[in-house]
Structure 1
Amino acid sequence: MSDILVTENIQGASMVRLIDDLDVEFDAYLWQNRDLLKQKLQNAKALIVRNQTQVNQELIDAAPQLKIIARSGVGLDNVDTEYAQEKGITVCFTPDANSLSVAELTIGLMLALLRKIPEARQDTLTGGWNRLKFTGSELYGKTFGLIGMGRIGSLTATRARAFGMNIIAVDPFLAADAPALNRVGGKLVSLDELLAEADVVSCHSPLTPNTRKMLTYSHFSQMKPDACFINTSRGEVVDEKGLIQALLEHKLAGAALDVRETEPPQQSPLNQMENVILTPHIAAFTVEAQERVVDSVCEDVRLVLSGKAPINVFKP
């Protein structure tokens, strides 16, 4: 039994050093075997996970010596943070380490949608040279609507503003005069206003009981027929059947989804739509972001196990 369990494929120089220096068991597929995982947790003092390991009450109860749960990423929807804290377990995550990478992918998906890059590439590979068919739209002058203006939303808005886009946002935790809005000349609006006005709607909302399936067919039906929807946050905030129906009925022009309701997803009508871009939850997967993420979780594990205060501790 090891002091530190790594249950998913979390790699990097800091992880190699952690394995060299401390008592670590690294098993990229351990999250798939709950019984074995619970057995190995009996003597573990630290648990390092990404998003596949469901750290619920049952798993926490199987780890009586656990001092820290370190989530390699931003969201904590796979960790029962409240119960962990009741048990005196520190929960750490990496709220800022991959924000820039997510923001950049969002901009990339927006460009791909408006300039029809994937369709143009595929047509050209098959011998086509149909320039007029792939006439796209500029970002300049378009209205960019953000659902959520936290760290990632703010970084995305800054980059969209550099393209000359007009920024509007909805965020229940944001004041109308918030610095994040002022920096980009943005305006706080209601969700209904945002959906009706935006040429591109981008979701940056965390997954909570209140946001689960918060975007439904009726919401997508409020969008402009030439508008696009992007989601790089959590797939579960979208009612996928409602989005599919809205796309089939041409209520909006297209969508780009890096996250899905179920991951990995089953076959879906989305797979057959030329105006839909699907990527496998890669927003945070850049070399730079992964280095920052792994550096952060390994450092916090070292600090907690040595009796010191962690840096990126979760606070409710």
Structure 2
Amino acid sequence: MAPKVLVSDKLSETAVQIFRDAGIDVDFQPELGKDKAKLAEVIGQYDGLAIRSATKVTEKILDAATNLKVIARAGIGTDNIDKVAASKKGVIVMNTPFGNMITTAEHAIAMMFAVARQIPEASASTHAGKWEKSKFMGVELTGKTLGVIGAGNIGGIVCDRARGLKMKVVAYDPFLGEEKAAKMGVEKVELEELLKRADFITLHVPFTDATANILSRENLAKTKKGVRIINCARGGLVDEEALADMLKSGHVAGAAFDVFAQEPATENPLFNLPNVVCTPHLGAATSEAQENVALQVAQQMSNYLNTGAVENALNMPSVTAEEAKIMGPWVSLAGHLGAFIGQMTDEPIKAINILYDGNVAQMNLDALNCASIAGIMKRVNPDVNMVSAPVIAAERGIKISTTNQEKSGTFDGYVKVTVVTEKRERSVAGTVFSDGKPRFIQIKGINIDAEIGAHMLYTTNEDVPGIIGLLGNTMGKNGVNIANFTLGRSDVGGEAIALLYVDNPIPADVLKTLDGTGMFQQVKPLEFDVV
């Protein structure tokens, strides 16, 4: 059956056609997002939900979304999606951060020009029949220093455009390296220095705990007298009350804001102050940007639902379509390793340690980590998946650590998962052979070569004669067909293990019979999601 997607906000017909061309059953209802009750009533039918800003995806909506796998927002902001509830539900949340980069950067440049030359006030005065030529004395941008807070995608475009205007650009961004800064033609500085040197300051960072109020009253006081401040990024990055006070005192010469701490902004401390330019969150509001993000969201959702590729996800590691093809068997292996340990571990888990060796260490480890954690957590929550598993693990205080190393043994690559509890450590390792099938290659430090099946039996015992016959005879007498039988031991007469891959679930009375022989330390049936 084809995946089914609901479009509950306005997307272009071209975007809707992308879904159709990809074989997606798309339901285009652009007004539905405004009706919360109706949306909750129908959302259970859909695998995907494509939205803009009108649809509010609340916890209540997500509770009703029994089949939902992905929500995608045509745009950057996802404040209208309860991402915590979505993650717990195992629903991927995507946005489209690149479709409106140029549009937003251009708006920041336009706002900078507007505040430098007082264009809106001069326009209003002229429309009123006044000719106040001497009142609107501006400043040139050429030769001025622009301080860019956040030199990522949009900030980088602003830097490029500003250099074209012959401005000197200084940038504060903890993730900007010296080499990258040199290629961009900007000077990398600390925030304190940027505040002291910049004639204009423009913000291009997301709203996080680290960036909230980054231009606080204290930091605004450190700015150069006569500075002009532009914010086309996110509300809450600037202390608006403090900025209003400094505009009134003359320390700040002007400001241009497209975003506000409270939106819609019907009142604000910056409103009606001289040389303050305000626009109603128009950064992405061009026909080109709106079309770009609509097409991007349709393509991303189609790729995920058809191939498993994850692009621009906020609560899941991104995996390209090519990675999805190559990593598919390794993701399955990671899930099986986790499932093995999860089914073997009854006591609370304190930590999960994952080792990647050889060629697998070069892959997308975040995605593999999620698969392993999901496999482990399925024991306590069968509905867990790669999105919700890390959230559940974090809630339980489980520490996750990873190690990657160069090829160290027989296999080109392998994965080893270890869980730590109060009582013990338990580990299992596996690899993917050239046939694309995952294998268990080590359990409890004992080397094996076991094909993984949907129904398996794991036993431990002392290395003594008769175990193979006992297992084979018991299974045969009870009509349990063995597809694969693997043995391993630590040393002669030491600890031994057996893994049996059987065609059907093993009846409880068979397990009881084996346990009653007194020959086994452990008899454990295992189930794996094998496609």
* 2:42 aligned to which of 40, 43, 54: 40
Bigger Rg, structure 1 or 2: 2
Paired residues, number:
312
C-alpha distance in structure 2 between counterparts of 1:274 and 1:251, whole Å: 13
Task: Tell me if structure 1 keeps the 8 A contact 2:32–2:38.
Answer: no
**Letter of the structure 2 residue corresponding to residue 9 of structure 1:** K
Equivalent position of 1:300 in the other structure: 300
Equivalent position of 1:222 in the other structure: 222
* 1:156 aligned to which of 155, 158, 162: 158
**Letter of the structure 2 residue corresponding to residue 132 of structure 1:** S
Equivalent position of 2:309 in the other structure: 309
C-alpha distance in structure 1 between counterparts of 2:13 and 2:182, whole Å: 37
C-alpha distance in structure 2 between counterparts of 1:30 and 1:84, whole Å: 17
C-alpha distance in structure 2 between counterparts of 1:248 and 1:58, whole Å: 45
Deviation per residue, 1:96-119 (Å, 9 max, x gap): 111011111111110111111111
C-alpha distance in structure 2 between counterparts of 1:52 and 1:138, whole Å: 40
Q: 1:1-316 counterparts in 2 under 5 A?
A: 3-11=4-12, 13-15=14-16, 18=19, 22-28=25-31, 30-31=33-34, 33-81=35-83, 84-175=86-177, 177-179=178-180, 181-314=181-314, 315=316
Q: CA deviation at 1:61?
A: 3.0
C-alpha distance in structure 1 between counterparts of 2:17 and 2:156, whole Å: 33
Q: CA deviation at 1:34?
A: 3.7
C-alpha distance in structure 2 between counterparts of 1:49 and 1:231, whole Å: 25
Change (3 A) 1:29 1:157: farther
Change (3 A) 1:307 1:19: closer
After superposing the two structures, state which structure 1 stretch, 124-133 or 138-147, moved more.
124-133
Name whichever structure is richer in strand by fraction.
2
Task: Tell me if structure 1 keeps the 8 A contact 2:235–2:262.
Answer: yes
After superposing the two structures, state which structure 1 stretch, 209-218 or 301-310, moved more.
301-310
**Letter of the structure 2 residue corresponding to residue 268 of structure 1:** N
Q: CA deviation at 1:223?
A: 1.9
Task: Tell me if structure 2 keeps the 8 A contact 1:47–1:70.
Answer: yes
Larger relative contact order, structure 1 or 2 (CA cutoff 8 Å, min sep 6): 1
Change (3 A) 1:208 1:50: farther
**Letter of the structure 2 residue corresponding to residue 215 of structure 1:** L
Equivalent position of 2:376 in the other structure: none
Q: Secondary structure at 2:224's aligned position in 1?
A: coil
Identical positions, percent: 37
C-alpha distance in structure 2 between counterparts of 1:213 and 1:59, whole Å: 32
Change (3 A) 1:209 1:39: farther
Deviation per residue, 1:83-106 (Å, 9 max, x gap): 534544333221211101111111
Unpaired runs of at least 5, structure 2: 318-531
Change (3 A) 1:12 1:128: farther
Q: Secondary structure at 1:134's aligned position in 2?
A: coil
Task: Tell me if structure 2 keeps the 8 A contact 1:7–1:28.
Answer: yes
Q: TM-score, normalised by structure 1?
A: 0.88
**Letter of the structure 2 residue corresponding to residue 67 of structure 1:** K
C-alpha distance in structure 2 between counterparts of 1:153 and 1:203, whole Å: 8
Change (3 A) 1:55 1:211: farther
Task: Tell me if structure 2 keeps the 8 A contact 1:67–1:304.
Answer: no
Deviation per residue, 1:37-60 (Å, 9 max, x gap): 333322221112224544454443
C-alpha distance in structure 1 between counterparts of 2:17 and 2:239, whole Å: 40
C-alpha distance in structure 2 between counterparts of 1:268 and 1:85, whole Å: 34
**Letter of the structure 1 residue corresponding to residue 148 of structure 2:** L
Change (3 A) 1:187 1:82: farther
Deviation per residue, 1:194-218 (Å, 9 max, x gap): 1121111001010123222332222
Q: Segments of 4+ in structure 1 off by > 6 A?
A: none
Task: Tell me if structure 1 keeps the 8 A contact 2:50–2:73.
Answer: yes
Q: Secondary structure at 1:228's aligned position in 2?
A: strand
C-alpha distance in structure 1 between counterparts of 2:251 and 2:227, whole Å: 9
C-alpha distance in structure 1 between counterparts of 2:293 and 2:11, whole Å: 9
Q: Secondary structure at 2:170's aligned position in 1?
A: strand
Q: CA deviation at 1:276?
A: 0.7
- Cα RMSD for the two superposed structures: 2.5
C-alpha distance in structure 1 between counterparts of 2:87 and 2:229, whole Å: 37
C-alpha distance in structure 2 between counterparts of 1:40 and 1:246, whole Å: 51
Deviation per residue, 1:115-165 (Å, 9 max, x gap): 111111111111222322222111111000011111000000000011111
After superposing the two structures, state which structure 1 stretch, 115-124 or 11-20, moved more.
11-20
**Letter of the structure 2 residue corresponding to residue 170 of structure 1:** Y
**Letter of the structure 1 residue corresponding to residue 76 of structure 2:** V
Change (3 A) 1:224 1:283: same
Task: Tell me if structure 1 keeps the 8 A contact 2:11–2:30.
Answer: no
Q: CA deviation at 1:18?
A: 4.4
Task: Tell me if structure 2 keeps the 8 A contact 1:18–1:24.
Answer: no
**Letter of the structure 1 residue corresponding to residue 261 of structure 2:** E
C-alpha distance in structure 2 between counterparts of 1:28 and 1:143, whole Å: 46
Q: CA deviation at 1:277?
A: 0.7
C-alpha distance in structure 1 between counterparts of 2:129 and 2:120, whole Å: 15
Task: Tell me if structure 2 keeps the 8 A contact 1:9–1:29.
Answer: no
C-alpha distance in structure 2 between counterparts of 1:231 and 1:143, whole Å: 16
Task: Tell me if structure 1 keeps the 8 A contact 2:18–2:299.
Answer: no
Task: Tell me if structure 2 keeps the 8 A contact 1:204–1:231.
Answer: yes
C-alpha distance in structure 2 between counterparts of 1:270 and 1:300, whole Å: 39
